[in-house]
Structure 1
């Protein structure tokens, strides 16, 4: 990425957009018309002046080679937008992706050079030998231990109360849940929040939506109650669990589990990135694959309601960086540490498995984490085909066919996958779970680039 001529694809740029309107507006600015004095440097910077509604054009600069930070590219624009990146930054990067010389190699103008220099000097001072030490162990370990014990006592009280409420539900009959409405579950979830067990609260809220989820809801309600009971019992008897499983229980209950252990440096391929949101929080999930270690890792980034998370890594890039894993059985979550080079396009692909191997891997993962909804896996040579009321991914070699999850069948990404395949086998990365397979990224046959599906 720091070498002139190494460009992102349009899909990789648009993956940075904070929302759909920004993606559309940025696409309209990805032409030469509104831009002047655009240029790029071999150090990973792109800049330009974009004509706006006023007499003064907007000054836009993007630092692609943000190798010292953990939030991907950095942006600066003189427009009043509060979105990052704004439509001008997206348009500039789309202009830069072209190979027609519209963004030639040049030296940055003074206004861009000042911002770039200030950013990089600030980053160097933070990482230098005289930098301020970052967060470390609590100043008073004994006080921290007492706080942890008090929280554990509150969680235990909440789990005990939840067990009683589940017993009352089963004693009165599952059918009674349809009459009690959502209010009872919301009140129970609030009690779990008071007990400082947000993981339990989230699962309780999911119970409240099941009675209105359509035919067969009593079976789903019983299944979810059983999993919630298992989590309660895991917490109440955590001292009898293996350390790894106890770590998983703590994480599922909602206790913080900071990353531990030595960092792993590798060239990490960005497999997928997508957001989920509720009324309070936007969660971004980024799946990575270590091209040397072969591990799959998950990065999580959060933003308050209405705000996009800061961390953004476009699909199809490779990142030379260190990752540190969180504790827990089968835990894939990691924290992004030091980056040694800017993200750059790559022709690497993750090794794929058959559909039968994919289901087997999900089953093995469930032994380590019974509350796991899905498991990341790459399918090799599958063909999307219609089946009954939905779609499935059929093994081109005559193996099993995995149904596509109902939620994925309504997304535009499915039709993108169908068009990409054209009846031929494709490689697909996604999440394999009890409801089927959710495709997230696909690679056509040959040396085609990664195509995001979400």
Structure 2
């Protein structure tokens, strides 16, 4: 990035923030006031010393040229990556040379970068453990896990049958404890995917009018997943891989890696008490392929991979197996991510709905598909909102989650009644906008 003489925008810096609180705190530190000795190098290092609440200022350094993505080091006690000081420093750097001039790297920042490089070279020189692993032992472990999952699936089938036999109305009086106990049994069976879906069932009776219909639909999908696992030997390879993934079994990328200029379409996190999941959507400008990177962080820690929305990345990705393959693993990166004026091609709202329907034929458990809409206008629809085609008479409703977030108002403000290009996820609850571009020229605006 610095080698090309291009700096990130403030939006691209804030896209790296692990949460909204970090974005707000980092923005406050994006001014020169609390910083001393800030600087940058042509090799991709940015550093500075920030005055904090204690007597000792915090030393912050960021390696923006790291092949695995931006790397951060700060002497503050925060457990978030990047911390607010790293975000503030990058915002300062994004403002230009007058604020963060190019100069020699101080010893404390240089030592950190050299240490990272040494550890990376050492790791690369160690032979992979896979070559010495016992394949027979691995096969036996896989068989034992499959047996546990099968036992869990059979138990879940019995519980679903008991629920239907007693009537769905009993689910409202049973409370959440019944579902939590069943989910715990699925965890014991080493089927985390089944456990997650069971927990979702527990919240449906309290979800408002019409909940029995929604509960029956989700029970049917859970039953279908159970039967898919129990009859997996008779399924086509792609569908069998999808079932294993939905059950929660680990998978490895298959096939040769694909090198492309990958446009970062969107990035957002979902958080539960034990895990933070980061979803990063990419679009290959050469392969015309949309891909998803999943990155995870333990409770209280941000996932390792972070990419600025609107940037392009020259890198390889390897796909995971499945009937509707979207997920990829990020491989070798040949250059740091850099701002890009490229936009993904889009379609109409009618085409988006058809795409989701086609994907459901291959993966009936799919909640949504990635879609780019061209020339749509956000318009109110009673108490809700929808995206209407500017050149047609069709529209897509926004999801309840999208209507309750500030991103909706950013989208409305960006549009101002004029057509915009919007990327998001289209599913059975509607369309969830994640990124938007104004008509003509303009940078990507993050909505989530």
1:443 pairs with 2:443:
no
Partner in structure 1 of residue 190 of structure 2: 196
Please, what TM-score do these two structures have when normalized by structure 2? 0.97
Kept in 1: contact 2:72–2:81 (CA 8 A)? yes
Cα shift readout 1:105-145 (whole Å, capped 9, x = no counterpart): 22212222222222224324434xxx112342562111211
Give the match's secondary structure for 1:272. Answer: strand
Corresponding position of 1:349 = 343
CA contact (8 A) 1:4 1:42 kept: no
Once the 2 structures are TM-superposed, how far is the Cα of residue 54 of structure 1 from its aligned partner? 4.6
Per the alignment, residue 418 of structure 1 pairs with 412
- Cα contact 2:80–2:300 (8 A) shared by 1: no
Shift of residue 436, structure 1, vs aligned partner: 0.3
Offset, 1:4: 5.9
CA distance, structure 1, for counterparts of residue 113 and residue 96 of structure 2: 24
Cα separation, 2, equivalents of 1:134 and 1:401: 52
> Is the 2:270–2:276 contact (alpha carbons within 8 Å) kept by the matching residues of 1?
yes
2:77 corresponds to 1:80:
yes
1:92 to partner: Cα distance = 0.9
In the TM superposition, what is the alpha-carbon distance from 1:389 to its structure 2 partner?
Answer: 1.1
When the two chains are superposed, the root-mean-square deviation of aligned CA atoms in Å is 1.5
Answer yes or no: is 1:184 the counterpart of 2:184.
no
Secondary structure of the 2:130 match is: coil
What does the per-residue CA deviation read over 1:316-339, in whole Å, with 9 as the maximum and x for residues that have no partner?
A: 111111111111110211111111
Contact 1:383/1:395, CA 8 A, preserved across alignment: yes
Name the SS of the counterpart of 1:161 in structure 2: helix
Between the aligned partners of 2:66 and 2:381, the Cα distance in structure 1 is 46
Q: Would you say 1:242 and 2:236 are equivalent positions?
A: yes
- Distance (whole Å) between structure 2 residues aligned to residue 5 and residue 49 of structure 1: 24
8 Å CA contact 1:263–1:325 kept in 2: the answer is yes
More off after superposition, 15-24 vs 411-420: 15-24
Task: For 2:177 and 2:111, locate their aligned partners in 1 and report how far apart those are by CA, in whole Å.
Answer: 56
Q: Secondary structure at the match of 2:77?
A: coil
Structure-2 separation of matches of 1:281 and 1:78: 25
Unaligned runs of 5+ in 1: none
Number of equivalenced pairs: 448
Q: Which residue of 2 aligns with 1:60?
A: 60
Change (3 A) 1:54 1:155: closer
Indicate conservation of the 8 Å contact 1:4/1:105, yes or no. no
When structure 1 is superposed on structure 2, of 376-385 and 330-339 the one drifting more is 330-339
Aligned to 1:36: 36
Unpaired stretches in structure 2, ≥5 consecutive residues = none
Tell me if 1:115 matches 2:115.
no
Distance 2:405 2:20 in 1: 14
C-alpha distance in 1, partners of 2:326/2:358? Answer: 14
Q: 1:229 is matched with which residue?
A: 223
Cα deviation 1:181-228 (Å, max 9, x = unaligned): 212111111111111111111111111111111100010011011101
Distance 2:74 2:271 in 1: 27
Q: Whole-Å Cα distance in 1 between the matches of residues 371 and 329 of structure 2?
A: 20
**Equivalent position to 1:151, from 134, 145, 148:** 145
| Cα displacement (A) at 1:256 | 0.9
Q: Distance in 2 between matches of 1:424 and 1:439?
A: 16
* CA distance in 2 between partners of 1:399 and 1:324 (Å): 39
Deviations 1:354-407 (A, max 9, x none): 111111111111011000000011111100000011000001111410000011
Which residue does 1:330 correspond to in 2? 324
Q: Which residue of 2 aligns with 1:10?
A: 10
Whole-Å separation in 1 of the counterparts to 2:254 and 2:404: 39
Alpha-carbon distance, 1:95 to partner: 0.7
Q: Is the CA contact 1:356–1:399 (under 8 Å) kept in the aligned structure 2?
A: no
| 1:98-137 paired onto structure 2 within 5 Å | 98-99=95-96, 101-127=98-124, 131-136=125-130
1:269-301 CA deviation, whole Å, 9 max, x = no partner? 111111111121111111111111111111111
Asked if 1:215 is matched to 2:209, the reply is yes
**Cα deviation digits, residues 16-75 of structure 1 (max 9, x gap):** 2223332222111111222222221121111122233455433221100011x2xx2111
Q: C-alpha separation between the residues in 1 aligned to 2:4 and 2:143?
A: 55
- Which sits farther off after the overlay, 150-159 or 247-256? 150-159
From 304, 308, 316, the equivalent of 1:314 is 308
Superposition pairs for residues 381-392 of structure 1, below 5 Å?
A: 381-392=375-386
Q: TM-score w.r.t. structure 1 length?
A: 0.95
Aligned to 1:46: 46
